[in-house]
Amino acid sequence: MTDRTRNQLGRTWIVLVAIVLSGMLAVAFQGRAPVVVAAVLVLALIKARLIILDFMGLRSGPAAMRRGLLVWPLVLALLAAAKLFATGMPSL
């Protein structure tokens, strides 16, 4: 592992921690409002992308594997959003 790679992973880790904390704060202060749920799902997609590309080392990996692994969290987030909105968004 080069110093550049180590620095990139360190920066990515800091971004991941910031994303987790911002999601926690959004839920703590705003509850389960539709905007917050959508924001948390978007944050989850961003986290998944960073993990797949940087920590799994697929930024320069095979394109088909990279696309497949990036589509998977998108499908799960869309299914979660569809289920949540189909069953009725709980009010604050």
Q: How far is CA 44 from the centre of its chain?
A: 2
pLDDT tens digit sequence for 56-85: 888 888 889 999 999 999 999 999 888 887
Domain ranges of the chain: 3-86
Where residue 50 falls among pLDDT bands split at 50, 70, 90? Answer: very high
The pTM for the full model equals: 0.81
DSSP class of 91: P
Does residue 37 contact residue 90 with C-beta atoms inside 8 Å?
A: no
59 token code pair:
């930024």
pLDDT tens digit sequence for 27-45: 998 877 888 888 999 999 9
Using alpha carbons, select from 13, 92, 60 the residue that is nearest to residue 37. 92
What confidence score (pLDDT) does residue 48 get? 95
